[in-house]
């Protein structure tokens, strides 16, 4: 049983309240993760902040909002404007079974982009309607499908900032892909001046939501407004973590941001799974990383491990997923297995929901 529960797959936002506390008051849990060890005192501070923020959403304590606004991470999430209730309100759409999954980890190089593309193509192979969204100004996802972000005229920047319909920036590739361009680097700043700045992506998705079963959003390596937009639009978050360099402190920080988003913007969002990437079973380090993850996050950690192989770096150079580049290889199979695992979890969840409402 894990020491830390970020958010159970089928659980509600309320379960998150104690989880950060556990994370920070169980320093033993972070043994073996060098970065996390020196995070002790800071983590305790964060626990206070997170517990305050996790007060019931119905009646947010002014103090909790203030503490969020003074925290550096929180600056872009909870501002005085939010506290005053200045918010453009949630976008309106009827409930569908569209899953909007955000791939997030503020650490770079953990395989967010690789996972977005290959998981998306694996879901496509299974027959699902898939939209990939490139929300990273670096445009790696866009590039990995053979498109050049430097010459793209209209991109997610125009969708988020100028309210261009998202269908205008969708390219048909191995899956449908809403592209990024270099402009997207200016989106954080442009959005920060807008009312409803955190809901821009959520609103943009209304147009196409019913056309897809899975929308996968690739995010930049930060917890800024682009990533917040993704969290607000999300039904769930999948966190790729690199076995080579595990950062538990980073995961606690990510969960703190999600707690603020739940409090202020999207009560239903939470981590629905953690995927271990760049796993090398021959090294003790990789095996320890998995142990630490499972000890702390229990069954949030997907059984599928994405092994370390150069195939994942080779495929994007050819403008393709690894499923197209080397369809019968182990690298492609790993993402097919992950896709099956995710779909099975969704079906179990949807079934439980249906029974609840029956
Ligand atoms: P992020 O989007 O989190 O920054 P990427 O998906 O771009 O991470 O991956 C970072 C680098 O690691 C890329 O060069 C990618 O090709 C490579 N990579 C991704 N997954 C693996 C893996 N399982 N094994 C080896 N290299 C990988
Ligand atoms: Mg990336």
Residues 328-354 pLDDT 10s: 999 999 999 999 999 999 888 888 888
**What pLDDT was estimated at residue 90?**
53
**Ligand 2 mean position to 86 CA, how many Å?**
32
Which pLDDT does position 16 carry in this prediction?
35
Q: From the alpha carbon of 218, which atom of ligand 1 is closest?
A: 2
Q: Is the CB of 114 under 6 A from ligand 1?
A: yes
Cβ of 300 less than 6 Å from ligand 1: no
Q: Check if 206 has its Cβ closer than 6 Å to any atom of ligand 1.
A: no
Residue 29 has pLDDT above 50, yes or no: no
pLDDT band at 301; cut points 50, 70, 90: very high
Of the listed ranges 28-32, 222-226, 227-231, 283-287, the one predicted with least confidence = 28-32
Cβ of 335 closer than 6 Å to ligand 1, yes or no, is: no
Nearest ligand for residue 142 CA: 2
Q: Could you read off the pLDDT of 219-274 as tens digits, one per residue?
A: 999 999 999 999 999 999 999 999 988 888 999 999 999 999 999 999 999 999 99
CA of 98 relative to ligand 1 center, distance in Å: 27
Q: Which ligand 1 atom is at minimum distance from the Cα of 312?
A: 16
For residues 162-170, average pLDDT: 98
Protein residues near ligand 2, an ion, with CB under 5 A:
112-113, 140
21 or 186: which leads in pLDDT:
186
CA of 108 to the centre of ligand 2 (A): 7
pLDDT tens by residue, 198-211: 999 999 999 999 99
- Ligand 1 pocket, 222 CB below 6 A? no
Question: Are 170 and 131 within 8 A, CB to CB?
Answer: yes
One-letter-per-residue 3-state SS of the chain:
CCCCCCCCCCCCHHHHHHHHHHHHHCHHHHCCCHHHHCCHHHHHHHHHHHHHHCCCCCCCCHHHHHHHHHCCHHHHCCCHHHHCCCCCCCCCCCCCCCEEEEECCCCCCCCHHHHHHHHHHHHHHCCCCEEEEECCCCCHHHHCCCCCCCCCCCCHHHHHHHCCCHHHHEEECCCEEECCCHHHHHHHHHHHCCCCHHHHHHHHHHCCHHHCCEEEEECCCCCCHHHHHHHHHCCEEEEEEECCCCCHHHHHHHHHHHHHHHHHCCCCCCEEEEEEECECCCCHHHHHHHHHHHHHHHHHECCCCCECCCHHHHHHHCCCCHHHHCCCCHHHHHHHHHHHHHHHHHHHHHHHHHHHHC
Q: Which residue has the higher pLDDT, 131 or 28?
A: 131
Lowest mean pLDDT among 76-80, 129-133, 297-301, 309-313: 76-80
The mean pLDDT of 270-280, rounded to a whole number, is 97
Q: What is the pLDDT of residues 65-108, one digit of tens each?
A: 333 333 334 334 434 334 333 444 555 444 348 999 999 999 99
Per-residue pLDDT at 353? 80
pLDDT at 89: 54
pTM reported for the whole predicted model: 0.79
pLDDT(213) > 50: yes
CA of 178 to the centre of ligand 2 (A): 15
């Amino acid at each position: 049983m894990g020491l830390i529960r970020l958010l159970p797959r089928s659980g509600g936002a309320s379960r998150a309240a104690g989880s950060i506390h556990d994370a920070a008051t169980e320093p033993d849990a972070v043994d073996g993760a060098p970065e996390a060890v020196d995070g002790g005192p800071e983590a305790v501070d964060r626990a206070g902040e997170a517990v305050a923020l996790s007060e019931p959403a119905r009646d947010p304590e002014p103090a909790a909002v203030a503490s969020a606004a003074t925290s550096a991470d929180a600056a872009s999430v909870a501002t005085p404007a939010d506290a005053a209730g200045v918010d453009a309100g949630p976008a309106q759409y009827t409930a569908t079974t569209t899953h909007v999954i955000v791939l997030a980890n503020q650490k770079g190089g953990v395989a967010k982009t690789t996972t977005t593309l290959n998981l998306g193509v694996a879901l496509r192979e299974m027959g699902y309607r898939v939209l990939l969204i490139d929300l990273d100004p670096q445009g790696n996802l866009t590039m990995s499908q053979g498109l050049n972000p430097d010459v793209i005229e209209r991109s997610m920047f125009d969708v988020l900032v100028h309210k261009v319909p998202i269908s205008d920036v969708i390219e048909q590739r191995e899956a449908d892909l809403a592209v990024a361009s270099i402009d997207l680097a200016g989106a954080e700043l442009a959005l920060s001046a807008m009312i409803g700045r955190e809901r821009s992506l959520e609103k943009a998705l209304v147009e196409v939501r019913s056309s897809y079963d899975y929308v996968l959003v690739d995010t930049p390596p930060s917890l800024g407004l682009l990533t917040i937009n993704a969290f607000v639009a999300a039904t769930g978050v999948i966190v790729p973590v690199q076995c080579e360099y595990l950062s538990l402190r980073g995961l606690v920080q990510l969960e703190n941001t999600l707690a603020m988003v739940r409090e202020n913007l999207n009560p239903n969002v939470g981590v629905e799974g953690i995927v271990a990437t760049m796993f090398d079973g021959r090294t003790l380090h990789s095996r320890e990383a998995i142990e630490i993850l499972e000890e702390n996050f229990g069954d949030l950690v997907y059984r599928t491990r994405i092994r370390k192989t150069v195939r994942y770096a080779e495929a994007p150079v050819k403008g393709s997923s690894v499923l197209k580049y080397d369809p019968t290889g182990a690298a492609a199979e790993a993402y097919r297995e992950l896709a099956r695992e995710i779909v099975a979890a969704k079906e179990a969840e949807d079934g439980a929901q249906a029974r609840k409402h029956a």
